[in-house]
Structure 1
Amino acid sequence: MKKPALKKLLTGLVAGLGLAATLSVQAADQMKVGFVYVGPIGDHGWSYQHDQGRLAVEKHFGDKVKTTYVENVPEGADAERVIRNLAKTGHKLIFTTSFGFMNPTLKVAKQFPRVTFEHATGYKQAKNVGTYISNTYEGRYVAGFVAAKVTKSNKIGYIASFPIPEVIRDINAVQMALNKYNPEAELKIIWVNSWFDPGKEADAANAMIDQGVDVILQHTDSPAAMQAANRRGVYAVGQASDMQHFGPKAHVMSVVNEWAPFYINRVQQVMDGTWKSEDHWGGMAEGEIVIPEFTNVPADVAEEAQSLIDAISAGKLHPFAGPIKNQKGELKVAEGEILEHGEMAGMNWFIEGVSSEIPK
């Protein structure tokens, strides 16, 4: 081989080795972040919106972060296995995004003390486990106001998933608004015992409409209820993401979870070594609960609803300001006081005005 050719070959090899070394360093420097979802990312609701937050993390940090997600994870033993696999494969921060993932997250966290965990909607923390939740009750209160104003039958429907504190809390927020703005309105609740089951959700919506309900809210994750409302000529409120395009004639508003600000902040804290376990509640003031727009409602109703959003965002209005009584008429929150987060996190009682019982 001629010397110039040999020199060129050696130069290329050195450059190639240098590039490989650089890529190896970059890979080693990448922080792996895992996400565990209870439903499919195509649910167009809860899991979809968490995945939008994950994508925002990738966009914000670029090559500094590599994300992984696992969807359709049942709450229970399967969740523990999935969470453990993420911890074993080098993920330094893991977000588990459903209430039923709480105990599996804590169990795995104890086994992997150098991994940081964040659990959504739970109430148990550990040294390496934080909790986070969005103040969906703020959006539900506004939805209750809109429902109170647009209903003609005075029958409001609520499709509920499971009788856990976050669902009970949001039902109560709707009832708080109904009590204030339309005491004649009745809240009908159907429990479907699922986060994502379009068939059950559609059946629940149709059953409510058959009973005279003309505004449907939901704490489930598919757009099936919105679609049913659109077909049958009644109003509906979107859950977790903006569901307007699924029911353009039915949609009045959507209560949207914006997870990106929280996820980006927590990833940065782990990178900086400043993360610490805490119980995070984020709402309208933090940009984590958003109502994109009001549709199919009178202008004066939309204007007043926006004034409620502004007041909640400014801290001038709290949906759970006393006096508040439970179904038995017992005073739970005195006038001039506000229900504390600790009480909201474990809420297991309905407020005065809710006619349904909490399933056992």
Structure 2
Amino acid sequence: MTNFAVVIFDDEEAVDIVSEKWIIKKQEKLHCYWPRQNVVSRAKRHEIPDPKWPLYPIRIVKYTELYEKAKEYRDQAKNDSVVESNDSDEELGRRVSRVPKRLADDSDYEAESEESIGSAKKKKSNAEKVMDLPKLPEPPQSISTPRAGRKNFDEMVGPPNLTTPSTSRRIATITSITQSTDETFKKNVLMKLDTIVENQKEQLSFLRRQAANHQPLDFDMEDMFLQPLDAKEELDDLEEKLKGTDFRKNIIKYLSVLGGPTVKASIKIMLRKIGSNKLWSSYSMKGRKGKQSFKKLILSRVIIRSCLRVHEKSKESIIETEIGEFLKYAPHRPGGTKMKAVTIDDSIDDSMEEDDDDTTEDLVGLDI
């Protein structure tokens, strides 16, 4: 159960009631959050403090579960000349009768203060009735020094100033730290919001393109790619079919529907759907090092057209680069011609790091 705490505010030597949730330890010193309005009602509800509330250094007098009991401890601490801590008997300081500056605009606190003052007056009146002692005669007034002189002296001197230079420096330091923390927090939140907005725009654009591309095909393409092509002869048959205009258009529609959130992801999905790593191990983008040239295939143009339908702002050079990267690592992936027959734990080496990054991007795309 959350307790109420009767605390002394070091900067003002004022006593008040706060929720236990408002107390934190900062730089080996206890501090307390303090709302600018509705202090009493918020303390009674044990409201979670807002980081924007100002912080004040404090000392704890007493803990209690009941608010009424806390009010008694507070009034006792205000009336006593020396307030004792709950954990030690050290002198904590004398009471200050004026209302602290942080409470000047709080109507909630003023209402409770008036209630406490009225209760105190009532107790005093009852005490006077019980102790009905005779009044002592007043001393004669001094002729040379009128009563007005004391009043003029008080007005000239003014109330005692309890703010010391060291206290002012501590308050300025705390205020500076709080403002700096708030500014950093605001910047981080705004940066994250900008990132979220950009991601939402990209996802919305991707979904719109997918909806636009999701048109009925002349035949079911899934029947054609139930299994990825595994031999060069099968790829040659596909090349013959791609010479037909209608078939080529249907393939472009089908592959664009399969496209991912990025160019890299789209290339990976399309090429894995069409062929196996064994097949792509024999190809490179320009046909170097004894490999077949993928760029000379009709399929190369089909893949590029499909990607441009999904990623309208992309360029052919970027798409060709991603195709080349995919073909470069195909021999080292499962089923590739250079895949080592090792255990699962040892199967991922440095050459596979690029492929792992692709897999992570695919997972992000699926979450979308």
TM-score, normalised via structure 1 length? 0.18
Bigger fraction of residues in strand: 1
Bigger fraction of residues in helix: 2
Structure of greater Rg? 2
TM-score, normalised via structure 2 length? 0.18
Higher RCO (CA 8 Å, separation ≥ 6 residues): 1
